[in-house]
Structure 1
Amino acid sequence: MQNQVVTALAALFERYQRNYGQPLAEHDPGEPSPAGQLPAHQGKVAWHPYTRAEPGSFDNLAQALNMPVHPSLPALFGHYYAGHLPLCYKGMFITLLQPWNDADFERLQQNQIGHQLMQQKLKLPATWFIATCRDERRLITLDNVSGAVLLERLGQGAIGTLAPDLATFLHRAEPVGPHAYHLTP
């Protein structure tokens, strides 16, 4: 399954570039990335997915939380440095998260631990966030047991299943240009 996720993510990056050209990311000069290219304009930088020489590991997450981590999570976040990607999934505008550099990868892991601790505190099933929604009370998550992609309401758990697995979700997601986020929700 892990290779299917990496392949689906690479195909998603290609679809975005084919439809909209080089994606843009907010640019912080203090946070360079091997994915970043020349500054574009208005504080943004053009980027391309940068394949990591060694995939990032989530073993520290598994150890810190004393639980296994679904293999789709490191497949999604451990193989590339990239900017976040605007997508549409079944009519819902979302932003697929991606680590920008080593420091961002570490922050992502820390935030995943925080999310998981909150899930445990609320006695909710183990999930990992993978994308944000326009409605900040919702997020897209990966079920740690089944690997299904879920729509979740913060603090309340899953609202529904979006896809049976992450590879299917990535194949079905449609890239959207940055202009889509300026529309009313």
Structure 2
Amino acid sequence: MSVYKKLESLFNQYQTQAKQQTGQYPLVAHDEQWPSPCEMNNTLMNSQIQWQAVEQNPKSAMDNLSKALEVAFPAEIGEFYGNFYADNISVSSPWGQLILLQAWSETDYDQLQQNITGHVLMKKKLKHDETVFIALTQEDDLLVTVENCTGSVWLEYVGKRPHQKIADSISEFLAQVEADFSV
């Protein structure tokens, strides 16, 4: 299954679970300074607003960042971050609870690219193979990353080399996780 299709499925599962458990779409703290096309109109209550994943139009690309950093990103990285705007979602996995990272808006996508830039520059400074983060674990300094040269998915402590390969690709990784909405 493609990265696009698996993400679409995960967002649908997550939103369905939220509606089953709470009677509404997932909630996020509303910030007028940080608007998103994900925010659902007329759902603001107690400083929280319902949201749903929406397709980016046009799709975002990592091409400019790739050129600026002189790094070739695997195509699946662009698919992972460039197809939807959404809040981060919790998923269950063989490696425990994870938070899949996503861009909330075009402005957030720009911020995400800045964070990726910092991560890649740190890896270069440490003379490590470049990686890009795609998820957080329950441990503060343990990330799920994608190795740029192979596209494989790894567990990696911040500032260290990846230490445990968990999938050969993002699509293979996503096939092993399930949406896990909890109140």
User: Normalising to structure 2: TM-score of the pair?
Assistant: 0.90
Show the counterpart of 1:62.
66
Cα separation, 1, equivalents of 2:136 and 2:48: 20
Per mean C-alpha deviation after superposition, the further-off stretch among 13-22 and 114-123 is 13-22
Q: How many residues were matched structurally?
A: 177
Cα separation, 1, equivalents of 2:152 and 2:170: 7
Show the counterpart of 1:28.
31
Q: Give the C-alpha shift of residue 41 in structure 1.
A: 4.6
Q: Greater strand share, 1 or 2?
A: 1
DSSP 3-state at the match of 1:142: strand
DSSP 3-state at the match of 1:73: helix
Cα separation, 2, equivalents of 1:4 and 1:45: 30
Post-superposition Cα deviations, 1:125-176, rounded to whole Å, max 9, x if no partner, equal: 1110111122111011111122111111111121201222111211221211
Cα separation, 2, equivalents of 1:24 and 1:133: 21
Q: Give the C-alpha shift of residue 91 in structure 1.
A: 4.5
1:50 to 16, 38, 54: 54
Task: Give ranges in structure 2 of 5+ residues lacking alignment.
Answer: 20-24
Show the counterpart of 1:9.
7
Q: Counterparts in 2 of 1:30-179, with a 5 A limit? A: 30-37=33-40, 38-39=42-43, 41-179=45-183
**Counterpart residue identity of residue 6, structure 2:** A
Distance 1:43 1:133, change over 3 A: farther
DSSP 3-state at the match of 1:150: strand
**For the Cα contact (< 8 Å) 1:25–1:84, is it kept in 2?**
no
Task: Give ranges in structure 1 of 5+ residues lacking alignment.
Answer: 180-185
Post-superposition Cα deviations, 1:72-118, rounded to whole Å, max 9, x if no partner, equal: 11101111111110111115111111101111000000100100000
Cα separation, 2, equivalents of 1:39 and 1:105: 24
Q: Give the C-alpha shift of residue 12 in structure 1.
A: 1.1
**RMSD of the alignment, in Å?**
1.6
Cα separation, 2, equivalents of 1:100 and 1:81: 5
Cα separation, 1, equivalents of 2:29 and 2:87: 8
DSSP 3-state at the match of 1:172: coil
Cα separation, 2, equivalents of 1:159 and 1:78: 27
DSSP 3-state at the match of 2:163: strand
Cα separation, 2, equivalents of 1:42 and 1:155: 39
Distance 1:29 1:144, change over 3 A: same
